[in-house]
Amino acid sequence: MGLLPPGKRLKQLGLGFLVTAILCVLVQYLEAYLKSSSWILNEKITSGIVLKSLWWDFKSVLTEELLFRGALLYLLIQKIGSKKSILISAIAFGIYHWFSYGVFGNLIAMLFVFIGTGLMGYAWAWAFAKTRSMLLGFGLHLGWNVTYNTLFSKGPLGELVFLSKGETELTDWASLLNFTSGLILVPIIVLLFIRYGIKKEAVQEDSEANL
């Protein structure tokens, strides 16, 4: 998992969380602007409900990270190199979301889901390859999911912290912009962050990073 050195890894986790949380907030406020809606606090929310949702987010992210960016990706990188391994991980991540999103059989939806989740999966796998740790990718993944699901009530758990009020139906370019902002633009920004903002760690750090 690449837990050592702990201080460095915690900083990577926190940075990743902050980056995607901010991006998610921007996407939600773009949607609110386009729909002429506003976000209001859910008066029925309780701390217990929030904690259950956060725990669900944590478990789902941890499961996906262990499955797609854990030991299997590490072994693939050792066998066939980073580029091919990252691509395989991204493709598998995109296909997995056909089923987790329930869009299998709808070709248009499958295409967009594959592109969006595949790009994001590529970014998170690239983060693993560059840092030799799961924690940056975990932070990136968790930051988006917590903000999207728990804060803005967009996930499968229903109404949580904030609720959208007074929205109107989007058409034409506004609908396209809203659709692509989270699915395409955010993954591209995260890829640029990994490309230019994250330094590749030296191979000799493997003895620590593999813990």
- Quick: pLDDT tens for 101-111: 899 999 999 99
Mean pLDDT confidence for 15-43:
95
| Geometric angle at alpha carbon 66, from 64 and 69, rounded to 5° | 90
Which pLDDT score is estimated for 174? 86
Which pLDDT score is estimated for 63? 94
Residue 6 to residue 186: CA distance in whole angstroms: 28
pLDDT tens digit sequence for 41-73: 999 999 999 999 999 999 999 999 999 998 889
Which pLDDT score is estimated for 6? 85
pLDDT tens digit sequence for 110-167: 999 999 999 999 999 999 999 999 999 999 999 999 999 999 999 888 999 999 998 8
Please give the helix or strand (H or E) that residue 4 lies within, else none.
Answer: none
Q: Does a structural domain hold residue 208?
A: no
Residue 177 to residue 204: CA distance in whole angstroms: 44
Residue 31 to residue 152: CA distance in whole angstroms: 12
Nearest of 97, 205, 186, 190 to residue 106 by alpha carbon:
97
Q: Does a structural domain hold residue 209?
A: no
Q: Does a structural domain hold residue 205?
A: no
Q: Does a structural domain hold residue 154?
A: yes
Q: Does a structural domain hold residue 145?
A: yes
Residue 122 to residue 110: CA distance in whole angstroms: 17
Q: Does a structural domain hold residue 211?
A: no
Q: Does a structural domain hold residue 210?
A: no
The total of structural domains in the chain comes to: 1
Is residue 208's pLDDT more than 50? Answer: no
Is residue 204's pLDDT more than 50? Answer: no
Which pLDDT score is estimated for 70? 87
Task: Supply 132's token pair.
Answer: 């030799």
Is residue 211's pLDDT more than 70? Answer: no
Helices (H), the chain: 6-35, 47-69, 71-80, 82-100, 107-131, 135-145, 172-180, 186-197, 206-209
- Which residues are CB-contacts of 127 (< 8 A; sequence separation ≥ 6)? 16, 136, 137, 140, 194, 198
| DSSP letter string, 96-113 | HHHHHTT-TT-HHHHHHH
Q: Does a structural domain hold residue 77?
A: yes
Range(s) of the domain holding residue 188: 6-200
